[in-house]
Amino acid sequence: MTAHVDYVVVGSGLTGATIARVLHDAGWRVQVLERRAHLGGNVHEHRHPSGIRIHTYGPHYFRTNSEELWAFVNRFGAFHPFVAEVRTEVEGAVEAWPVTADYIRRVAVRRGVRNSLGYLRTSRKPPSL
């Protein structure tokens, strides 16, 4: 015999797990259905016998500037710090990617590009047209 549930959530990835938890915390009876042999959907990870964490379906990164959201997600598990720093080689020099305004200004000066509006040499924004 199946127990009565108020909500059935299909999938235990980030969205399904979050919806199920919020509903459960609000007092609803929730059943989560998952076709895989593990929870977590595409953010599932496991440990190699050497102890290295392996992202089963590729790495996933969680970023937010919201303190409220950060406090909410930290109720469910520990996050591992990660800072992405993408660089590219341009004309023999390592530069930030995507290209920054600073790089454009330096290249413009080096190549003698003149701009009568002056916004390549200052932090002023170009005028609206």
Q: What is the pLDDT of residues 20-72, one digit of tens each?
A: 999 999 999 999 999 999 998 998 989 999 999 898 998 888 888 999 999 99
Spatial contact of 43 and 59, defined as CB atoms under 8 Å apart: no
Judge whether residue 108 has pLDDT over 90: no
Query: What pLDDT score was predicted for residue 17?
Result: 92
Spatial contact of 104 and 110, defined as CB atoms under 8 Å apart: no
Query: What pLDDT score was predicted for residue 119?
Result: 52
Query: What pLDDT score was predicted for residue 11?
Result: 96
Q: Where are the domains of the chain?
A: 7-73, 85-124
Query: What pLDDT score was predicted for residue 2?
Result: 63
Query: What pLDDT score was predicted for residue 102?
Result: 84
